[in-house]
Amino acid sequence: MNKFRWVIFSAVLLIITLFSTGIYLFYSEIDKEELNFVHKYFVNSAFNKFEERISNLTPDAAVIVNYDSLFNSLNYFELKIVGKIFTINPAELGFKGKKYPTGGIVTLHKIENRVLGSAKKIETGINYLPVHIFRDYERMANAMEKELGKRLYIDSGYRSPGRQAYLFLKYLINSNDYSLIENAKWIAMPGYSEHGSSTTTAIDFISESGINGFTDNQTAKDFESLQEFQWLTENASVFNFFMSYPPNNKDGVAYEPWHWHWEGEIKNSYPTISEAN
């Protein structure tokens, strides 16, 4: 009988210890180097709900998914952890770029999905660009094709804050081992991405052969070696496009030769529209 009581006591003690440890870890500070296992669990759970919400949208709407509609799908525990992550000042993670206003966005031009590459096919997915930026992109792509016989396509254009939040968690989980510091080198938090700017939106380019510098073990050097990249460095500024993150850039972001933002004068006025629900 005494042995049985000791087993019961030990089991109860273990349960209390595990529960107390879980509560402690849940309410502890976010570890920026690597999330603890409790925080990892709720980040994964939140991301799965984001994915489910996005999967119920059309491909068009998924690109400009509403931030609040994603977060409204989370329970208290998921919201608490993901909310704490997104309230961290990105400067604490090594990111020194600026914040962009969110909310209404200028009229967007839809760019249809393209299948690129030869040995292995890569789909760009549906993308959007503000009309004034798309016009300059078309002028630049046409000029490049006239001179080189090939052009660069849009791998990523405008992203809503909701889309940026989804991608931040996706890369945190799948690519950067739950390290917020490492993640911040590659993808910005919502509100801090040039892809979310309604006036100076950045484009991630991809070549006809499927080279974008980061898919399927590609590196920046793969994109850098493209003839199209050399053409960009010599001519893109004429069309108001500028490389945002050269090597050792001041923003603390990894070298991204494929990422170019628009910076010019908006000569026309466009009405605003809202993010997709």
Are 202 and 273 within one domain? yes
What's the pLDDT tens digit per position in 92-149? 999 999 998 765 556 899 999 999 987 788 999 999 999 999 999 999 999 999 999 9
Both tokens of residue 82?
């993901």
Are 8 and 66 within one domain? no
What's the pLDDT tens digit per position in 166-192? 999 999 999 999 999 999 999 999 999
pLDDT score recorded for residue 270: 42
Overall domain count for the chain: 2
Are 97 and 18 within one domain? no
Are 11 and 134 within one domain? no
Q: Calculate the average pLDDT of the chain.
A: 89
Residue 33 confidence (pLDDT) above 60 = yes
Domain that holds residue 127: 31-277
The answer for 127, left when phi > 0, alpha when psi is -120 to 50, beta otherwise, is beta
Residue 102 CB neighbour total at 10 angstroms: 17
User: Hey, which bits of 157-210 come out as E strands?
Assistant: 202-207
More confident residue, 276 or 69: 69
Residue 249 confidence (pLDDT) above 70 = yes
pLDDT score recorded for residue 271: 38
- Please answer whether residues 128 and 109 qualify as being in contact, where contact means their C-beta atoms are separated by less than 8 angstroms: yes
* pLDDT tier at 85, thresholds 50, 70, 90: very high
Residue 217 confidence (pLDDT) above 60 = yes
Give pTM, 2 decimals.
Answer: 0.86
1-23 mean pLDDT: 65
Are 39 and 103 within one domain? yes
Helices 227-235 & 131-148 angle (0-180, nearest 10): 120
* Portion of the chain with pLDDT greater than 70, in percent: 88
| DSSP class of 254 | P
Residue 164 confidence (pLDDT) above 90 = yes
Q: Give the span between the Cα atoms of 141 and 153, in whole angstroms.
A: 8
Are 245 and 114 within one domain? yes
Residues facing residue 108 across a β-bridge: 130
Are 45 and 20 within one domain? no
Query: Residue 97: phi, psi to the nearest 5?
Result: -75, 175
Are 141 and 209 within one domain? yes
Are 25 and 42 within one domain? no
Are 136 and 154 within one domain? yes
- Tell me the C-alpha to C-alpha distance, in Å, between residue 103 and each of 48, 100, 109, 189, 196: 25, 10, 18, 15, 10
pLDDT score recorded for residue 180: 97
DSSP codes, 90-159? GGGGT--------S-EE-EEEE---EE-SSS-EE---EEEEHHHHHHHHHHHHHHHHHHS--EEEEE---
pLDDT score recorded for residue 273: 36
Which CATH number does the domain housing residue 122 bear?
3.30.1380.10
Are 54 and 140 within one domain? yes
Which amino acid is it at 108?
Answer: L
Are 110 and 236 within one domain? yes
Helices 2-27 & 37-55 angle (0-180, nearest 10): 60
